[in-house]
Amino acid sequence: MKLKTIVIALSLAINSVQAAPEPRISGGPYSGSNTGATNLDVNLPDLGDVSQTVFTPLDEQRIGEQIMRDVAVSDEVVQDVEVIDYLNALGNRLAAASSDKHQKFNFFVVQDNSINAFAMPGGVIGVHTGLFLAANNESELAGVLGHEIGHVTQRHLARMLASQKYDTFKNIAGIALALLVARANPQLASGALTTASAAGVQNQLDYTREHEREADRVGLQILNTAGFDVRGMPSFFTTLQRGSRYSEGSAPGFLRTHPLTSERISDVTNRVDQMAYKQVPDSVEFQYVRAKLFANNGAVDTNIAVFEQNIRERRYTNEAVEHYGLAVSYLRKNALAQAEKELIWLKKNAPQHAMVENLSARVQVAKNNPALAAKQYAEALKLYPDNRALIYGYADHFLAVKQVDNAIKLIKDKQSLYPSDAYFYEVLAKAYTMQSKALLSYQAQGEAYFRKYDLARAIEQMELATKAKDGDFYQISIVEARLKELRRLQGDVKKS
């Protein structure tokens, strides 16, 4: 589902809301950890304000879950598990360095060339692919994520929504859709909000300068505590400022939702100058993911030419990354012999890496060589037993060659590593369908929907499972108990 298709829902959801002035933020000391920056002054607000009484943490959780439900079915969201896992690893590392140890976060990637990232209630943070490509190093990307985490832990959006006559929002889904569109594509959202009241709400969704300063200070502390180069934040802001010499309508999305001023850059730079110098190299995961995103974006022949020129002219910080990006580009073009040639170079000259092993197996799948693909997946999983991309690929291979029992065994062996992974259950649903096991197929699909925050469809699938005629007493009892639990959860949601 395209984000553009929910603009109408956005307008309907917020058209009747009257914007209200933002509540005054009371001052108070920030008591989070401050590794390596003992003299860092962070004057942040007391969080005991209207957002905690009018707009509750449960409200935030429900909005976050609704957003993730829309994310799960959007074709504008990157579904590449290697990219997703990298972003989650980076985001969770930063979140662990924040003062709020109880806040849960969900990170996702939007397929969009614009430079943008956005935070929403419930700990939901989206990052555009354009931001990955614009970041000069991993600390710059981490700096933006730290800033967004700061918005969440300071509950900035919750405060703004709480100030907007919360009772005029008729359903939580309307807020979720509005936030998703407004944050993911501010230019689109601005075009959709044509009435005076809707435009007022869009203005309320834009952070104030005070919010930005707070998120900068919190983000900088998170960046430092997590072990990144704190210079990444001001350097990226400076890059954005240089790139904003356009008309307001074409400025980077990050600047339209996060007003950037010279005072902000000066404030962050001054704080960084007080902190210890720390040079932090990029992780190879960052470099591989960035190369993969570049290879899969834009004209493939142009990308191939760029990687080849970088290798030829030795313009790189890591030669293996250029060969990897070139191999991804060749696979995208279906030039499989050339892709295989690059992989041979990587296996001879570069340290082993799960992303290289996965790409190698994918090339064999594309060459319709199932025996070699299976061998490569099996050997790679011995080296990287918890790598989701390899598990996904091997399971898909088993389904493709109709080795259903092997697919089920693999998923069940690995499922405890990722109990919240919907795709594992989708593989089981397909496998059980191939075995004509209706009850188990409906049950697995129901669990997949539940992990996509779609409670109604999860219940529907469980109801179908109870009506299936092929389950034994034990299986039927499990399904009936689960259905009862899901209905109870649905009742709790309706009551709240």
Is 158 part of a structural domain of the chain? yes
CA distance linking residue 367 with residue 485, whole number of Å? 46
Across the strands, what pairs with 117?
127
3-state secondary structure 86-109: HHHHHHHHHHHCCCCCCCCCEEEE
DSSP 291-345: HHHHHTSS-HHHHHHHHHHHHHTT--S-HHHHHHHHHHHHHHHT-HHHHHHHHHH
Range from 21-25, 324-328, 363-367, 391-395 carrying the lowest mean pLDDT: 21-25
Query: Under 8 Å CB-to-CB from 152, ≥6 apart: which residues?
Result: 103, 105, 119, 121, 123, 125
Are 1 and 185 spatial neighbours (Cβ–Cβ below 8 Å)? no
- Is the pLDDT at 167 greater than 70, yes or no? no
Evaluate if residue 332 carries a pLDDT over 60: yes
What is the per-residue pLDDT for 76?
87
Contact 467, 434 (CB under 8 A): no
Q: Is 121 exposed, middle or buried (0-12, 13-18, 19+ CB in 10 A)?
A: buried
In a domain, 289, yes or no: no
Domain that holds residue 233: 3-273
Q: What pLDDT sits at residue 258?
A: 67
CB 188 within 8 A of CB 181: yes
Q: Is residue 83 part of a domain?
A: yes
Q: Could you tell me if residue 135 is inside a domain?
A: yes
- Alpha carbon separation from 464 to 428, 441, 442, 480 (Å, rounded): 16, 10, 6, 11
Residue 54 has pLDDT above 50, yes or no: yes
Asked whether the predicted pLDDT for residue 381 surpasses 90, the reply is yes
- 91 and 125 in contact (C-beta within 8 Å)? yes
Cα end-to-end span (Å), the chain: 28
> What distances in angstroms separate CA 103 from CA 57, 123, 149, one per listed residue?
10, 7, 10
Q: Which of 19-23, 236-240, 374-378, 489-493 has the lowest mean pLDDT?
A: 19-23
- Kindly state whether residue 232 falls inside one of the protein's structural domains: yes
Q: How many CB atoms lie under 10 A from the CB of residue 489?
A: 14
Q: For residue 38, what pLDDT band results from cuts at 50, 70 and 90?
A: very low
Burial of 191 (0-12, 13-18, 19+ CB in 10 A): exposed
Residue with the bigger pLDDT between 328 and 2: it is 328
> Given this model, what pLDDT does residue 243 score?
56
Which DSSP symbol is given to 136? S
pTM for this prediction:
0.83
User: How much is the pLDDT for 323?
Assistant: 98
Closest by alpha carbon to 136, among 243, 211, 218, 248? 243
Percent of the chain beyond pLDDT 90? 60
48 belongs to a structural domain = yes
Tell whether the model's pLDDT for residue 62 goes beyond 90: no
Question: Which DSSP letter does residue 385 get?
Answer: T
Is 235 a domain residue?
Answer: yes
Helix-strand-coil percent breakdown of the chain, rounded to 5?
A: 65, 5, 30
| Residue 127 domain-assigned (yes or no) | yes
Among the listed residues 450, 130, 180, 398, the one whose alpha carbon sits nearest the alpha carbon of residue 290? 130
* pLDDT value of position 463: 98
Of 286, 309, 282, the closest CA to residue 355 belongs to 286
**Single-letter residue type at 472:** D
Confidence band, pLDDT 50/70/90 cuts, at residue 155: confident
Return the ∠ at Cα 440 (arms to 74 and 468), rounded to 5°. Answer: 105
Overall number of domains in the chain: 1
